[in-house]
Structure 1
Amino acid sequence: MRKYSILLIICLFQISVSCTRVSVGPPLKEILSANPKLQIVLDKYKDDSLRYKAAVFLIENLPFHYSYEGEPLNNYLKLFELHGKGTMYPDKVLDSIQRACGPFHLDRLEVKSDIHIDPDYLIENIEWAFKVWHEQPWGKNVSFDDFCEFILPYRVGDERLEPWRERIYNKYNPLLDSIRGLPEAEDPKFVSQILMDTLHSGPVYFTGLFSFGPHYGPKVVDWRSGSCVNFTDLQLYVFRALGLPCSEEIMLMRGNGNVPHYWNAAFDKDGNSYRCSILDPTSELNTPDSYWDPKGKVYRRTFSLNREMIQAMGKEAEDRHPSFRYPCFRDVTAIYAGSKNHTLTISPGHFYRSLKNDEPVYLCSATFLDWAPIGWCLYDKQLGAVFKNVEGQVVFRLGTYENGKICPQSDPFLLDRESGEVRFFSSGDKEVEVTLLHKYELYFEPFVRRMVDGVFEGSNDSHFRKKDTLFIIKEFPERLWNVVGVNSDHAYRYVRYYGPKDSYCNIAEAAFYASSADSIPLTGKIIGTPGANGLDGSHEYTNVFDGNPYTSFDFAQPTGGWAGLDLGTPHCIEKIVFTPRNRDNFIRTDDEYELFYYNNGKWVSAGRVRPHSDSLLYKVPEGALLYLKDHTRGKDERIFEYKDGKQRFW
Structure 2
Amino acid sequence: MMKKLLYLFALLCMATGFTSSCKESALDRSLSQAGDNRKELEAVLLHYQNDTLKQQAARFLIENMDAHYCFGGDAVEKYYHAMDSVFRHGKGDRAYWNRQYDSILGQTGQALDSCMAVPLFDIEHVKADFLIAHIDSAFAVWHRNWNRQYSFEMFLRYVLPYRIGHEGLSLWRGKYPLPQEEEEDYERNTFNSNFVYGIAHATFLGMQPWIYYSDRQLPEFPLGQLMHIKAAICREYAHLNVASFRAQGIPATVDFTPQWGNRAMGHEWCVFFINNETAIPFEMGQPVGCHFMKRKEDRLPKVFRETFEKQETSLFMKNKGKESLPPVFNTPYLVDVTNQYIETSNIEVNLYSMESNRHSDYVYLAVFDNHTWKIVHWSKISRGKALFTDMGRDIVYLPVYYIEDKIIPAGDAFLLNNKGEKVLLKADDTKRTTIKVKRKYRNIRTNVFLRDIVGGKFQVANRKDFSDSLTLYTIPLLEDNHFQIIKTPNKSKFKYFRYLSPNGSRGNMAELYTFDEKGDTLYPIRFMNNSTTPSEHDMKTLTDGDVLTYYEAEGTENIWYGWEYSQPVNLSCIVFFPRNDDNFIREGETYELFYWSHNGWTSLGKQKGNLASELVFSNAPLHALFWLHNHDKGTEERIFTYENERQIWR
What's the TM-score once normalised by structure 2's chain length? 0.87
Q: In the TM superposition, what whole-angstrom CA distance separates every residue of 1:82-117 from its partner, at most 9, and x where no partner exists?
A: 476225605444554455556786344342111211
Give 2:648's aligned residue.
Answer: 648
Change (3 A) 1:286 1:509: closer
- The 8 Å contact of residues 142 and 271 in structure 1, kept in 2 or not, is answered as no
Give 1:393's aligned residue.
Answer: 394
Aligned equivalent of 2:201, options 190, 196, 202: 196
Give 1:484's aligned residue.
Answer: 486
Aligned equivalent of 1:60, options 57, 60, 63: 63
Give 1:176's aligned residue.
Answer: 182
Change (3 A) 1:550 1:375: closer
Secondary structure class of the residue paired with 1:64: coil
Secondary structure class of the residue paired with 1:184: coil
Shift in Å, 1:291:
6.6
C-alpha separation between the residues in 2 aligned to 1:491 and 1:439?
A: 41
C-alpha separation between the residues in 2 aligned to 1:335 and 1:575?
A: 54
Residue 49 of structure 1 pairs with residue 57 of structure 2:
no
AA partner of residue 421 (structure 2): E
Secondary structure class of the residue paired with 1:73: helix
Give 1:276's aligned residue.
Answer: 282
AA partner of residue 162 (structure 2): Y
Aligned equivalent of 1:345, options 348, 352, 356: 348
Give 2:412's aligned residue.
Answer: 411
Change (3 A) 1:315 1:370: farther
Secondary structure class of the residue paired with 2:331: coil
Give 2:578's aligned residue.
Answer: 580
Residue 285 of structure 1 pairs with residue 289 of structure 2:
yes
Give 2:272's aligned residue.
Answer: 266
AA partner of residue 642 (structure 2): Y
Change (3 A) 1:325 1:543: closer
Residue 527 of structure 1 pairs with residue 537 of structure 2:
no
Secondary structure class of the residue paired with 2:346: strand
Secondary structure class of the residue paired with 2:196: helix
Secondary structure class of the residue paired with 1:63: coil
AA partner of residue 221 (structure 2): Y
C-alpha separation between the residues in 2 aligned to 1:105 and 1:477?
A: 48
C-alpha separation between the residues in 1 aligned to 2:46 and 2:108?
A: 45
AA partner of residue 65 (structure 2): L
Q: In the TM superposition, what whole-angstrom CA distance separates every residue of 1:126-153 from its partner, at most 9, and x where no partner exists?
A: 111111123x312211122221222112
Change (3 A) 1:173 1:129: farther
Residue 223 of structure 1 pairs with residue 224 of structure 2:
no
AA partner of residue 395 (structure 2): V
Q: In the TM superposition, what whole-angstrom CA distance separates every residue of 1:309-355 from its partner, at most 9, and x where no partner exists?
A: 34884563534333223231211111111xx2222233x3x646699
Which stretch of the first structure deviates more once superposed, 447-456 or 388-397?
A: 447-456
C-alpha separation between the residues in 1 aligned to 2:253 and 2:4?
A: 20
Q: In the TM superposition, what whole-angstrom CA distance separates every residue of 1:402-445 from its partner, at most 9, and x where no partner exists?
A: 3443321122211112x111222222223334443333223244
- The 8 Å contact of residues 416 and 422 in structure 2, kept in 1 or not, is answered as yes
Secondary structure class of the residue paired with 1:178: helix
AA partner of residue 503 (structure 1): S
Shift in Å, 1:55:
1.3
- The 8 Å contact of residues 79 and 210 in structure 1, kept in 2 or not, is answered as no
Shift in Å, 1:6:
5.3
Q: In the TM superposition, what whole-angstrom CA distance separates every residue of 1:515-535 from its partner, at most 9, and x where no partner exists?
A: 4xx5433222322245323xx
Give 1:151's aligned residue.
Answer: 159
Shift in Å, 1:263:
1.5
Give 2:72's aligned residue.
Answer: 69
- The 8 Å contact of residues 541 and 562 in structure 1, kept in 2 or not, is answered as no
Which ranges in structure 2 are unaligned for 5 or more consecutive residues?
Answer: none
Shift in Å, 1:397:
0.7
Give 2:506's aligned residue.
Answer: 504
Secondary structure class of the residue paired with 1:306: coil
Which stretch of the first structure deviates more once superposed, 521-530 or 252-261?
A: 521-530
- The 8 Å contact of residues 314 and 333 in structure 2, kept in 1 or not, is answered as no
- The 8 Å contact of residues 31 and 60 in structure 1, kept in 2 or not, is answered as no
Give 1:162's aligned residue.
Answer: 170
- Alignment identity in percent? 27
Secondary structure class of the residue paired with 1:35: helix
Which stretch of the first structure deviates more once superposed, 154-163 or 598-607?
A: 598-607
Residue 628 of structure 1 pairs with residue 622 of structure 2:
no
Which stretch of the first structure deviates more once superposed, 312-321 or 547-556?
A: 312-321
Shift in Å, 1:250:
0.4
C-alpha separation between the residues in 1 aligned to 2:577 and 2:293?
A: 37
Give 2:212's aligned residue.
Answer: 207
Residue 333 of structure 1 pairs with residue 341 of structure 2:
no
Aligned equivalent of 2:242, options 210, 224, 236: 236
AA partner of residue 473 (structure 1): I
Give 2:131's aligned residue.
Answer: 122
Change (3 A) 1:228 1:87: closer
Give 1:402's aligned residue.
Answer: 403
AA partner of residue 609 (structure 2): P
AA partner of residue 394 (structure 2): Q
- The 8 Å contact of residues 376 and 387 in structure 1, kept in 2 or not, is answered as yes
Which stretch of the first structure deviates more once superposed, 95-104 or 563-572?
A: 95-104
Q: In the TM superposition, what whole-angstrom CA distance separates every residue of 1:169-219 from its partner, at most 9, and x where no partner exists?
A: 3xx3534123223343423x5323443343021232233357742322332
Q: In the TM superposition, what whole-angstrom CA distance separates every residue of 1:554-577 from its partner, at most 9, and x where no partner exists?
A: 222244433212234444444321
C-alpha separation between the residues in 2 aligned to 1:411 and 1:628?
A: 20
Residue 132 of structure 1 pairs with residue 134 of structure 2:
no
What's the TM-score once normalised by structure 1's chain length? 0.87
Give 2:637's aligned residue.
Answer: 637
- The 8 Å contact of residues 263 and 277 in structure 1, kept in 2 or not, is answered as yes
Shift in Å, 1:57:
1.5
Give 2:113's aligned residue.
Answer: 106
C-alpha separation between the residues in 1 aligned to 2:628 and 2:2?
A: 26
Give 1:246's aligned residue.
Answer: 252
AA partner of residue 334 (structure 2): F
Change (3 A) 1:592 1:214: farther
C-alpha separation between the residues in 1 aligned to 2:369 and 2:111?
A: 23
C-alpha separation between the residues in 1 aligned to 2:569 and 2:239?
A: 58
Aligned equivalent of 1:302, options 262, 282, 307: 307
Secondary structure class of the residue paired with 2:169: coil
C-alpha separation between the residues in 1 aligned to 2:185 and 2:368?
A: 46
AA partner of residue 623 (structure 2): G
Secondary structure class of the residue paired with 1:379: strand
C-alpha separation between the residues in 2 aligned to 1:121 and 1:363?
A: 41
Which runs of structure 2 are paired with 1:426-575 in the superposition (5 Å)? 426-429=426-429, 430-445=431-446, 447-476=449-478, 478-486=480-488, 488=490, 491-515=493-517, 518-525=518-525, 526-529=527-530, 531-533=532-534, 537-575=535-573
Change (3 A) 1:95 1:228: closer
AA partner of residue 114 (structure 1): D
Q: In the TM superposition, what whole-angstrom CA distance separates every residue of 1:581-630 from its partner, at most 9, and x where no partner exists?
A: 23433334444443332211312233444435444444533332222333
AA partner of residue 485 (structure 2): V
Change (3 A) 1:532 1:421: same
AA partner of residue 371 (structure 1): W
AA partner of residue 369 (structure 1): H
Change (3 A) 1:502 1:401: same
- The 8 Å contact of residues 6 and 327 in structure 2, kept in 1 or not, is answered as no
Q: In the TM superposition, what whole-angstrom CA distance separates every residue of 1:29-50 from its partner, at most 9, and x where no partner exists?
A: 3234452121111111122222
Q: In the TM superposition, what whole-angstrom CA distance separates every residue of 1:351-390 from its partner, at most 9, and x where no partner exists?
A: 46699899422121222332222112223438x3322212
C-alpha separation between the residues in 1 aligned to 2:262 and 2:276?
A: 33
Q: In the TM superposition, what whole-angstrom CA distance separates every residue of 1:49-96 from its partner, at most 9, and x where no partner exists?
A: 221221122112222211122344356555686476225605444554
